[in-house]
Structure 1
Amino acid sequence: MAENKIKLRPLAEQVIVITGATSGIGLATAEMAAERGASVVLSSRNEEDLEQIIQRLQSAGYKARGVNADVCKMTDLENLAQVAIETFGRIDTWVNNAGGSIYGPLLEIPEEEERALFDVNFWGVRNGCRVAFQHMKENGGAIINLGSEVSVRSLPLQGMYSATKHAVKAYTDALRMELEHDGYPISVSLIRPTAINTPFAEHAVNHLRSGEPSLPDPIYHPDYVAEAILKCATDVIRDVFVGGPSKMSAVMEFIMPGMTDKHMEKSSYKDQSAGESIPHEEGQEGLHHAPAHEGNVFGHHKGKKTKQRSDMKTPEAKH
Structure 2
Amino acid sequence: MPSREKLLEVIAMQTEVAGLGIDLDLGRLLDLVAKRTVGLMEADGAALELAEGDEMVYRATAGMAEGSLGLRLKRGTSLSGLCVAQGQALRCDDALTDPRADHAACERLGLRSMVVAPLRHHGVTVGVLKAMLRRPAHFDDKHVALLGLVSELVAAAMYFATRYAPGELFHKATHDSLTDLPNRALFLDRLHASLAQAVRDHQPLAVLMLDMNGLKPINDRHGHRAGDAALREFARRLSAGVRESDTPARLGGDEFGVLLRPVAADGGLQATMQRLAHELDGSFDFNGHELPLSVSMGAASFPEDGADVAGLIELADQRMYRQKRSLKHAAA
TM over 0.5: no
TM-score (norm 2): 0.29
| Larger relative contact order, structure 1 or 2 (CA cutoff 8 Å, min sep 6) | 1
What's the TM-score, normalizing by structure 1?
0.30
Specify which structure has the higher proportion of strand.
2
Which of 1 and 2 has greater Rg? 2
